[in-house]
Amino acid sequence: MPYDIDKPEEQWRAELTPAEYRVLREAGTERAFTGEYTDTKTTGVYNCRACGAELFRSTEKFESHCGWPSFYDPSDSAAVELIEDRSAGMVRTEVRCARCGSHLGHVFEGEGYPTPTDQRYCINSISLRLAPAED
């Protein structure tokens, strides 16, 4: 899929830290319970760390106790791209930023969380940047 923001990998490497690059551009995963937004309750908007696109809002964030920030819905369904992921010996649904194609995490359904969508967007903190709401 062509993305609105399309940069050569060497430019992404120059703009991102090695840890950000590993997750965002190589579909890595940060260790559970280590991300800066796992337990954050700050009101605001979560943007893609690579391109700044709005992805999620704090109003859709919930406590899943899974070790990563969890959201039950993106702020706009067109903000994310969902792709079948058959890596790691299982079938999952990868979540990418629809604007730049960066890896964000995975979405799971039917886990029984009391949310309006019955979905858990399990997102790496390092893929996000929180813009706190202004008072």
Phi, psi of 8 (to 5 degrees): -65, 150
Specify the pairing of strand 119-123 against strand 103-109: antiparallel
Domain extents in the chain: 9-132
Question: Span 12-22, mean pLDDT?
Answer: 97
pLDDT, one tens digit per residue, over 104-134 is 999 999 999 999 999 999 999 999 999 999 8
| Rounded CA separation 111/119 (Å) | 7
Q: Would you place residue 87 in the very low, low, confident or very high pLDDT band (cuts 50, 70, 90)?
A: confident
Stated as kind and residue range, the H or E segment containing 55 is: strand 54-57
| Rounded CA separation 70/120 (Å) | 6
In one-letter notation, the amino acid at residue 64 is: S
Which residue among 48, 51, 100, 122 is the active-site one? 122
The CATH number of the domain covering residues in 9-132: 2.170.150.20
Quote the pLDDT of residue 135: 66
Quote the pLDDT of residue 98: 97
Q: Comparing C-alpha atoms, which of 25, 55, 60 is closest to residue 43?
A: 60
| Rounded CA separation 13/16 (Å) | 5
Question: Span 19-46, mean pLDDT?
Answer: 96
Q: Tell me if residue 51 is catalytic.
A: no
Has residue 101 got a pLDDT over 70? yes
